[in-house]
Amino acid sequence: MVDPRSDSRPPRSGRAARWCIVVLISVVLVGPSTCAAKTRHFRWEVEYRYWSPDCVEGVVMSINGQFPGPTIRAVVGDTVSVDLTNKLSTEGVVIHWHGIRQLGTPWADGTASISQCPINPGETFTYRFKVDKAGTYFYHGHYGMQRSAGLYGSMIVQAGGGEKEPFHYDGEFNLLLSDWWHESAHEQELGLSSVPFRWIGEPQALLINGRGQFGCSLAAGYSNSTSTARCEFGGGEQCAPSILPVLPNKTYRLRLASTTALASLNLAIGGHKMVVVEADGNYVQPFAVDDLDIYSGETYSVLLTTDQDPRQNYWIAVGVRGRRPNTSQALTVLNYRPNSASKRPASPPPTTPLWNDYNHSKSFSSRILALAGSPRPPATHHRRIFLLNTQSKFNGHTKWSINNISLSLPPTPYLGSLKYKIHGAFDARKPPESFPADYDVMRPPANPNSTVGSGIYTLGLNTTVDIILQNANALSENTSEIHPWHLHGHDFWVLGYGEGKFAAEDGDKRLNLKNPPLRNTAVIFPYGWTALRFVADNPGAWAFHCHIEPHLHMGMGIVLAEGLNAMGKMKMPSGAFACGLTAKIVTNNDGHN
């Protein structure tokens, strides 16, 4: 294996360039663990480094000098302990453990201004939490737009205690998908907050495990190729693709996670079908697909059987969906051994479905159902909250709003304010739980002006809550965007999707209460609605937001709080609240309070 950090030179390109890929991903051979639960310790330092993710040198956020960050592997029941030191010069940092429910440890969720204060430059904060469910997860920065800057990595939780997963495979690969801009995250933030508004544009590259190519193509030279420049790698470049070496007639598990800042993606493998078996850490009824859509914040496991011509290699292609693409596919190769990794596949890469073929997307989403024996949702709800997603204006700034309020996070973390019963730390007025019945979701808002706020939705402990995510037209005519929504601290059941405005008399009849999938991220399609149900059984303050990084930056989210009495009795590290109005309370206290 070539060290991917040994050379950051861009590849040469040209029609006659030799096609050579030498970076391999090692296959992981795994089985159920029978080891007793243990504490897995990690010491991480976050800092900026020069890097060439797409063969163009820029600045990335690294962990221990790596981009993406190190992969965490743990077993169900383990405790993960991460000492995170901020080596950035002028900004804070936090890390969110995406998909980990943080049962009993809400302070370790890693959301700035919600579960903790940002970690200041030079300081160290210890995240300590238990992983309670096998599955495919990842972690990422959750302060400003640090995910866009490359602060992310994979997290795999394996079954333990003799537990058997409901499928068999011979080895596994981990594919972390992301998008990349040449403009820095700080520049992007400034543009989004400026008057006039400056949109970040489409990404320059898509990355697979932090590797992509800008300005050349691995697939140049096929008859249907639109690129004339063919990538050539001499060995060790940071942008050289990670090859998946496989043996014929084996079954492999591909763990897929999307940490994109903007792009919805589609993945396909030339000549091969995939069987979907896991979504967001929950088992699903297996079903075969030629390609699959994956939205920001989602994870999947698929089974791939290497049953094609063993004399050939095959393309793995990742393309943009849901937005008019201006970004080339990310490509790598499924390398049937003992073929050379440099052997070009006989056929061109699979074509990504049209970006606006939403019927294709909806068909895939509707096939995701819980595996038999999975927890079923309560038959009824105690409370139903409607969340209207709209684009809006506030004092000349372009915002995203929920029920006409754009989220503005306070300087004191909600969790600390609620634990210590501090008044005035955030808006006392409760945000609205619905929107006007006559609102026309098919047209731009008649009044585009919104307000900003920091109020929270307080939920009764152990109550069942429905959330109806309602999409609508944005500020421009005939424009409605895809929004993947992620809930911290919980999984939810995805009860159904629909077109237009949700109407209880019709929508309730269409909800699936028999075998809806458990997820932590769900998409709302343009001009449509998505119905979710969850039990508020995890005391804490939890973010619920669009996982598109610019949209969250522009206010597209809410905060849920539950179990206030239990929260007050929890032991939490003082370092989580050493800012804002809680700083005075914890200044003279050491350890947990």
Q: What is residue 333's predicted lDDT score, i.e. its pLDDT?
A: 97
Opening angle at CA 472, ends 470 and 474, nearest 5? 140
| β-bridge pairing 171-180 and 39-51 | unpaired
Q: What is residue 264's predicted lDDT score, i.e. its pLDDT?
A: 97
Q: What is residue 509's predicted lDDT score, i.e. its pLDDT?
A: 87
Strand partners, 464: 535
DSSP 366: H
Q: What is residue 383's predicted lDDT score, i.e. its pLDDT?
A: 97
How would you write the pLDDT of the chain (593 residues) with one tens digit per residue?
333 333 333 344 333 334 445 456 656 665 545 567 899 999 999 999 999 999 999 999 999 999 999 999 999 999 999 999 999 999 999 999 999 999 999 999 999 999 999 999 999 999 999 999 999 999 999 999 999 999 999 999 999 878 889 999 999 999 999 999 999 999 999 999 999 999 999 999 999 999 999 999 999 888 655 656 889 888 789 999 999 999 999 999 999 999 999 999 999 999 999 999 999 999 999 999 999 999 999 999 999 999 999 999 999 999 999 999 899 999 999 999 999 999 999 999 999 999 999 999 999 999 999 999 999 999 999 999 999 999 999 999 999 999 999 999 999 999 999 999 999 999 999 999 999 999 999 999 999 999 999 999 999 999 999 999 999 999 999 999 999 999 999 999 999 999 999 998 877 889 999 999 999 999 999 999 999 999 999 999 999 999 999 999 999 999 999 999 999 999 999 999 999 999 999 886 654 55
Q: What is residue 15's predicted lDDT score, i.e. its pLDDT?
A: 35
**Residue that the structure tokens 């000549």 belong to:** 271
Contacts of residue 33, defined as CB under 8 A and 6 or more positions apart, other chains included, come to: 75, 158, 159, 160, 161
Taking the CA atoms of 287, 293, 297 and 301 in sequence, report the sign of the dihedral they define: positive
Spatial distance between the Cα atoms of 36 and 366, rounded to a whole number of angstroms: 38
DSSP 575: G
3-state SS, 236-274, equals CECCCCCEEEECCCCEEEEEEEECCCCCEEEEEECCCCE
Q: What is residue 589's predicted lDDT score, i.e. its pLDDT?
A: 66
Take residue 248 and report the two structure tokens written for it: 């014929």
Q: What is residue 8's predicted lDDT score, i.e. its pLDDT?
A: 37
